[in-house]
């Protein structure tokens, strides 16, 4: 069929990839190498590395706080990744349905979700801190009181504080998944839905047999992206709880931030930075395997 | 000649006065000499219009007397830790500002890193001698050089609603009893910072210091978990824990990471007492209705006994980071003529030298007598590089103990080990 | 009838979610309308006794605030555009060409996305200093381009995959070069994907804090995401009401850009549907 032009399946990829690779290399190569170097040194933020050592590595691995921090990180990330996607998918599909039916208010709702997304992270923490205020006049507790529910220890109870941090993150982060799923859902050929309707498939069956399988790539990609974003979230938690009470909401990213900027421990911070990267990478490989299976 | 013309120009046209202070400079845009100054957003560029205007006036007057200078201003955000780390980074790389505001707790670190330049030409020996001892120690080196000017200090005091707690509690026991009584009457007995932030450790440390406790030894190594210090540390934890367990303090204290929470509780009439900063007195006066404000009084923080009292003292310093003598002098003069004197008087901030309290009428209020009295028991945070980690550990420990997630002894052991491990790697 | 019930369920679900998403904004608006005397009144006074627009006026009359807004818009929009521009050829190659290690390369690019700015912050500062790129808006834009590009590659690959190859093959048969096919046929069809990728990159940039904070030393260069904290404190008075007003205003430009692009996304979809 293609007697003249090149077939779709051949061609050299590198000319197409060069701009992307060059820019990444320019900004990342040296700093990433530097992080590796610093992780095995005795550098602090105010003192250049003087010798090679694994002291920072072994000190951090032996740090009794690390298991708790990792546990909090995994819990916070896992719950967020699942909830963000369920919310995002639910909203995206509802919006698509609403638009197809010509319902009013869909744009307004979508704009509202997006507005939450563009609030700077630290401001997000400050706002929710006021909402979660447990004083007798606190916003959410006052509202719950009106509805006849008892006060909730939103931020002072260690376990509840993590839930509250998840809520604040959901408020801000859902928009991202919503856009990804909305775009992917819009990309599905409408003919498929027409066929399903002709076959008399129930909405649930249509969702299971048409929507979900075709959104599989989007879900996989989104899982990776949302995981990385959530793993790296620290500014909103910093403003919301500072990581407390105790270490109840101290995730790995916040731990890293504190290590570098309050403790000035650059070597330790670099070790944690590598750890953060390894955790994210492990997630990506898992999803990659899943993607490979799906093909 | 040029200087004269400039001065005449400045004096002659009032319209120009407006332009002398902009968002990124003080002085004429083409002034030949430039000093860069990194400041906090609380005064010249305060979000509070009246404060900003007043400081613009002070700066205008200051620069009019020095028409061949221009101060290029750089803001730092209120996020102290990263801001100060960034400032230190830049200074070491030789890209820092000529003059900057440095948090008093960071002075020792900046001094040890050798980035602070003397401003001896501005401050006389008498002026240095008149500084409060903990201030003098922090801003001078062994050679007697003035390496920074700590221009205001602050301290922690006990606020109480006298309609609920008429007498100022002097001991922990009295404080707990009064708070219990208030709680029984439906109020929040005693509020204090116990969330995860610097204020928590700083406010609580007064209880440790009141017993003579020491966080670090002379070499800067942590010693708070051993010997007499350990006993003092555990006693101070027990005081806070009993407050929460007896209901004298609400469980929500472990979520308080902001002094504003106390202002809000006072305005709502929910709190009977709180451990707050001296600057909150002015804030309460501004925000409470007059009749309500009249009920509020301040007293020294309670101690284990009425004779054992302490309070944490903080504040900000201005330091020269440039080696140029002219810039160092200008930096010092600015600290002295704008901030330490009239600037403090306007903001109601506490000067660091006794003489200034008499010089300004702003300090005539009865609260300032109490503040001056309490300052005699003032303790500054140790100027040791390990302090931030110790503070971090104390915040974690208090959060864990007060929320019932850890026992005091075990929590102290963990905190002490962590601080020692961090110190060993510094 | 069944569709009617479905509509009602749709509205009920969205209403519930709308309450969740709107509550913080309602609260912020309440704060932004207060005088300092009412700021500590809590939620009991959701509607202030003496509502005032002073806070908005104060924030907007500060010339610096508008500069911060402009900086934020400039850095995030150009940074987002650069990310998309860099991603287009790469995504096209991943979508249309077959080559060895394709999947691995794709994952490798995504792996870069996992290096968060926090992880390399200090080395990055030193590296940029060595290159003499500090305090320069173009370097922040370039960095945003690098940061946003991996994500854009993935999104655009998905968008390109959805465009039938037959359309392109027809053009190739007519003798067009691949880059011509890309610019004349594929990109116009991929407009919704391009717009989504741009929006995602731009908004991520809009709320970036660490990078501008560390790379831009002069506050006149700061975007609003950094500068907003100048409204966060004062020794003598509460400024919560100003912070709330500043936050609300800061949200507007990003939402406006999105609303504009949204129309484009929708219209492109309709155009595509007619053609298809």
Contact status, residue B213 vs residue B152, Cβ threshold 8 Å: no
A147-190 pLDDT, tens digit each: 888 889 999 999 999 999 999 999 999 998 998 888 788 878 88
Query: Hey, which chains touch C, using 3+ CB pairs under 8 Å?
Result: A, B
pLDDT for residue B11: 43
d(CA B248, CA B232): 22
Answer yes or no: do B111 and B45 share one domain. Answer: yes
pLDDT tops 90 at residue C101: no
Summarize the confidence of residues A208-229 as an average pLDDT.
Answer: 85
* Best to test chain B binding among A234, A245, A257 (most B CBs inside 10 Å): A245
**A6 part of contact set with chain C, CB < 8 Å:** yes
Summarize the confidence of residues C91-105 as an average pLDDT.
Answer: 86
Residue span of the structural domain in which B190 resides? 156-311+383-424
Answer yes or no: do B101 and B249 share one domain. Answer: no
Contact status, residue A56 vs residue A267, Cβ threshold 8 Å: yes
B79-100 pLDDT, tens digit each: 777 788 889 988 988 889 999 9
Of A126, A174, A228, the CB nearest to C114: A228
Say how many C-beta atoms besides its own lie within 10 A of residue A200's C-beta: 7
pLDDT for residue A294: 54
Answer yes or no: do B132 and B268 share one domain. Answer: no
- Nearest CA-CA distance, residue A262 and chain C, Å: 14
pLDDT tops 80 at residue B404: yes
| B373 belongs to a structural domain | no
Which residues in chain A (151-180) have CB-CB distances under 8 A to chain C? 171, 174-176, 179-180
pLDDT over 70 for what percent of chain B?
Answer: 96
**C213 part of contact set with chain B, CB < 8 Å:** yes
Of C58, C125, C219, the CB nearest to B75: C219
Summarize the confidence of residues B385-402 as an average pLDDT.
Answer: 93
Could you give all domains of chain A from N- to C-terminal order, each with its CATH number?
49-294 (1.10.3720.10)
d(CA B171, CA B296): 19
d(CA A275, CA C144): 24
For the four alpha carbons of A217, A218, A224 and A227, in that order, the dihedral sign comes to negative
**A256 part of contact set with chain C, CB < 8 Å:** yes
- Ranking B180-189, C143-152, C218-227 by mean pLDDT, the lowest is C218-227
| B31 belongs to a structural domain | yes
| B144 belongs to a structural domain | yes
Asked if the peptide bond before residue A245 counts as cis, ω within 30 degrees of 0, the response is yes
Angle between helices A139-146 and A121-131 (to 10 degrees): 40
Answer yes or no: do B306 and B414 share one domain. Answer: yes
- Ranking A10-24, A275-289, B59-73 by mean pLDDT, the lowest is A275-289
Task: Give B100's contacts in chain C (Cβ within 8 Å).
Answer: none
d(CA B247, CA A28): 54
Task: Give A138's contacts in chain C (Cβ within 8 Å).
Answer: 42-43
pLDDT for residue C267: 52
Of A245, A258, A264, the CB nearest to B255: A245
| B378 belongs to a structural domain | no
Task: Give B396's contacts in chain A (Cβ within 8 Å).
Answer: 244, 246-247
**C239 part of contact set with chain B, CB < 8 Å:** yes
Task: Give B279's contacts in chain C (Cβ within 8 Å).
Answer: 235-236
- The total number of structural domains in chain B stands at 2
Contact C226 B82 (CB under 8 A): no
pLDDT-derived band at A5, boundaries 50, 70, 90? very low
Of B270, B395, B399, the CB nearest to A136: B270
Which residues in chain C (150-209) have CB-CB distances under 8 A to chain B? none
Q: Where are the domains of chain C?
A: 62-275
| B343 belongs to a structural domain | yes
Of C25, C44, C151, the CB nearest to A115: C25
Select the CATH number that applies to the domain covering C62-275 from these four: 1.10.1740.10, 1.10.10.10, 1.20.140.160, 1.10.3720.10. Answer: 1.10.3720.10
Answer yes or no: do B147 and B168 share one domain. Answer: no
Nearest chain A residue to C226 by CA: give it. Answer: A120
Answer yes or no: do B109 and B165 share one domain. Answer: no
pLDDT for residue B1: 40
Summarize the confidence of residues A97-123 as an average pLDDT.
Answer: 86
Give the distance from CA A195 to its chain's centroid: 36
Which among A10-24, A179-193, B9-23, B267-281 has the top mean pLDDT? B267-281
pLDDT tops 90 at residue B37: yes
- Ranking B179-188, B248-257, C29-38 by mean pLDDT, the lowest is C29-38
Nearest chain B residue to C235 by CA: give it. Answer: B42
A43-78 pLDDT, tens digit each: 888 788 888 888 888 888 888 899 999 999 999 999
C184-212 pLDDT, tens digit each: 888 888 887 888 888 888 888 888 888 89
pLDDT for residue A122: 79
Task: Give C238's contacts in chain B (Cβ within 8 Å).
Answer: 260, 263, 283, 287
- Nearest CA-CA distance, residue C97 and chain A, Å: 5
Contact C235 B45 (CB under 8 A): no
- Ranking A91-95, B11-15, B374-378, B385-389 by mean pLDDT, the lowest is B11-15
**What number of residues does chain B have?**
426
d(CA B26, CA B40): 15
**B136 part of contact set with chain A, CB < 8 Å:** no
Contact B74 C217 (CB under 8 A): yes
CA B130-B132-B136 angle, to 5 degrees, is: 85
pLDDT for residue B135: 92
**C153 part of contact set with chain A, CB < 8 Å:** yes
Answer yes or no: do B297 and B167 share one domain. Answer: yes
Contact A16 C92 (CB under 8 A): yes
* A189 phi, psi to nearest 5 deg: -60, 120
| B261 belongs to a structural domain | yes
Q: What's B59's domain CATH number?
A: 3.40.190.10
Which residues in chain C (209-268) have CB-CB distances under 8 A to chain A? 209, 224-225, 228-229, 232, 240, 243, 247, 250-251, 254-255, 258-259, 262, 265
Summarize the confidence of residues A94-100 as an average pLDDT.
Answer: 88
pLDDT for residue A225: 82
pLDDT for residue B95: 86
B120-175 pLDDT, tens digit each: 999 999 999 999 888 998 999 989 899 999 999 999 999 999 999 999 999 999 99
Answer yes or no: do B103 and B126 share one domain. Answer: yes
Angle between helices C240-275 and C63-96 (to 10 degrees): 30
For the four alpha carbons of C124, C130, C131 and C136, in that order, the dihedral sign comes to positive
**B34 part of contact set with chain C, CB < 8 Å:** no
Contact B283 C238 (CB under 8 A): yes
Nearest chain A residue to C98 by CA: give it. Answer: A9
Contact status, residue C60 vs residue C248, Cβ threshold 8 Å: no
pLDDT tops 50 at residue B16: no
Answer yes or no: do B271 and B207 share one domain. Answer: yes
| B375 belongs to a structural domain | no
Contact A24 C146 (CB under 8 A): yes
| B342 belongs to a structural domain | yes
- What residues does A52 pair with on adjacent strands? A41
Asked if the peptide bond before residue B76 counts as cis, ω within 30 degrees of 0, the response is no
Answer yes or no: do B195 and B219 share one domain. Answer: yes
**Mean pLDDT, chain B, whole residue set:** 90
Q: What is this structure's pTM?
A: 0.88
Answer yes or no: do B275 and B391 share one domain. Answer: yes
pLDDT for residue A295: 47
């Amino acid at each position: 069929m293609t007697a003249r032009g090149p077939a779709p399946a051949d061609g050299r990829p590198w000319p197409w990839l060069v701009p992307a690779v060059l820019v990444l290399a320019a900004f990342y190569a040296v700093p990433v190498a530097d992080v590796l170097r610093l992780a095995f040194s005795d550098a602090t933020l105010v003192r250049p590395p003087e010798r090679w050592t694994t002291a920072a590595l072994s000190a951090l691995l032996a740090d009794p706080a690390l298991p708790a921090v990792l546990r909090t990180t995994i819990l916070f990330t896992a719950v967020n990744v699942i909830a963000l996607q369920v919310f995002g998918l639910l909203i995206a599909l509802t919006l698509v349905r609403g638009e197809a039916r010509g319902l009013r208010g869909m744009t307004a709702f979508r704009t509202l979700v997006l507005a939450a997304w563009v609030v700077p992270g630290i401001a997000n923490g400050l706002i929710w801190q006021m909402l979660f205020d447990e004083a007798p006049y606190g916003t959410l507790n006052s509202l719950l009181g009106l509805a006849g529910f008892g006060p909730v220890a939103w931020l002072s109870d260690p376990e509840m504080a993590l839930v509250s941090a998840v809520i604040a993150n959901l408020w801000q982060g859902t928009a991202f998944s919503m856009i990804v799923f909305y775009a992917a859902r819009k990309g599905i050929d409408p003919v498929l839905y027409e066929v399903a309707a002709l076959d008399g498939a129930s909405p649930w069956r249509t969702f299971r047999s048409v929507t979900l399988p075709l959104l599989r790539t989007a879900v996989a990609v989104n899982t990776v992206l949302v995981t990385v974003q959530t793993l790296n979230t620290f500014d909103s938690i910093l403003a919301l709880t500072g990581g407390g009470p105790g270490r109840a909401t101290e995730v790995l990213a916040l731990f890293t931030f504190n290590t570098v900027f309050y403790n000035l421990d650059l070597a330790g911070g670099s070790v944690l930075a590598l750890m953060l990267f390894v955790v994210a990478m492990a997630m990506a490989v898992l999803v990659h395997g899943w993607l490979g299976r799906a093909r | 000649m040029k200087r004269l013309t400039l001065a005449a120009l400045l004096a002659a046209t009032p319209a120009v006065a407006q332009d002398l202070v902009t968002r990124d400079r003080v002085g004429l845009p083409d002034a030949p000499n430039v000093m860069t100054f990194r400041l906090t957003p609380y005064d010249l560029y305060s979000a509070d219009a009246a404060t900003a205007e007043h400081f613009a006036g002070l700066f205008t007057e200051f620069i009019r007397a020095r028409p061949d200078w221009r101060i290029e201003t750089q803001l730092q955000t209120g996020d102290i830790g990263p801001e100060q780390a960034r400032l230190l980074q830049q200074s070491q790389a030789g890209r820092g500002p000529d003059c900057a505001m440095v948090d008093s707790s960071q002075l020792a670190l900046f001094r040890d890193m050798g980035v602070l330049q003397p401003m001896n030409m501005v401050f006389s020996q008498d002026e240095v001698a008149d500084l409060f001892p903990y201030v003098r120690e922090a801003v001078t080196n062994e050679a007697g050089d003035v390496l920074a000017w700590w221009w205001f200090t602050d301290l922690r005091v006990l606020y109480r609603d006298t309609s609920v707690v008429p007498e100022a509690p002097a001991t922990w026991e009295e404080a707990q009893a009064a708070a219990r009584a208030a709680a029984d009457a439906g109020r929040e007995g005693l509020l204090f910072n116990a969330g995860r932030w610097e204020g928590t450790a700083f406010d609580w440390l007064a209880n440790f210091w009141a017993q003579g406790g020491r966080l670090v030894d002379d070499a800067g190594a942590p010693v708070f978990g051993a010997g007499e210090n350990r006993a003092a540390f555990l006693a101070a934890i027990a005081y806070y824990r009993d407050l929460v367990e007896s209901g004298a303090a609400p469980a929500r204290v472990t979520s308080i990471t902001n002094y504003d929470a106390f202002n809000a509780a006072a305005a709502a009439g929910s709190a009977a007492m709180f451990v707050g900063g001296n600057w909150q007195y002015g804030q309460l006066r501004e925000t409470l209705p007059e009749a309500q404000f009249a009920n509020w009084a301040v007293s020294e923080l309670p101690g284990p006994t009425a004779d054992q009292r302490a309070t944490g003292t903080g504040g900000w310093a201005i330091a020269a980071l440039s080696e140029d003598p002219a810039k160092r002098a200008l930096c010092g003069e600015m600290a002295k003529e704008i901030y330490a004197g009239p600037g403090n008087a306007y903001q109601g901030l506490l000067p660091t030298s006794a003489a200034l309290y008499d010089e300004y009428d702003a300090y005539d209020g009865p609260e300032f007598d109490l503040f001056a009295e309490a300052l005699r028991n003032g303790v500054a945070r140790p100027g040791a590089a390990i302090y931030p980690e110790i503070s971090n550990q104390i915040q974690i420990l208090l959060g864990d103990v007060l929320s019932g997630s850890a026992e005091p002894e075990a929590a102290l052991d963990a905190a002490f080990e962590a601080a020692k491990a961090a110190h060993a790697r510094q | 009838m069944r569709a009617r019930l479905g509509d009602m369920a749709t509205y009920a679900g969205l209403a519930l979610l709308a309450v969740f998403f709107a509550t913080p904004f309602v609260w912020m608006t309440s704060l932004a309308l207060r005088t300092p005397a009412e700021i500590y009144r809590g939620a009991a006074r959701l509607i202030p006794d003496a509502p005032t627009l002073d806070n908005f006026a104060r924030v907007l009359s500060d010339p610096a605030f508008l500069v911060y807004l402009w900086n934020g818009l400039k850095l995030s929009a150009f940074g987002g555009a650069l990310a998309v521009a860099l991603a287009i050829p790469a995504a096209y190659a991943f979508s249309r060409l077959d080559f060895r290690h394709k999947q691995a390369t794709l994952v490798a690019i995504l792996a870069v996305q996992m290096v968060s700015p926090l992880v390399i912050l200090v080395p990055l500062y030193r590296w940029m200093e060595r290159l003499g790129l500090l305090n320069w808006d173009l370097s922040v834009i370039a960095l945003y381009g690098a940061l946003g590009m991996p994500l854009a590659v993935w999104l655009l690959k998905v968008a390109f995959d959805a465009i039938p190859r037959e359309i392109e093959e027809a053009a190739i048969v007519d003798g067009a070069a691949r880059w011509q096919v890309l610019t004349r046929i594929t990109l116009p069809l991929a407009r919704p994907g391009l717009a989504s990728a741009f929006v995602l990159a731009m908004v991520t940039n809009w709320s970036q804090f660490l990078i501008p904070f560390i790379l831009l030393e002069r506050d006149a260069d700061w975007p609003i995401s950094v500068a907003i904290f100048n409204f966060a404190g004062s020794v003598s008075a509460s400024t919560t009401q100003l912070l709330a007003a500043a936050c609300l205003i800061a949200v507007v430009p990003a939402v406006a850009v999105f609303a504009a692009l949204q129309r484009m996304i929708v219209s492109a979809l309709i155009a595509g549907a007619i053609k298809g």
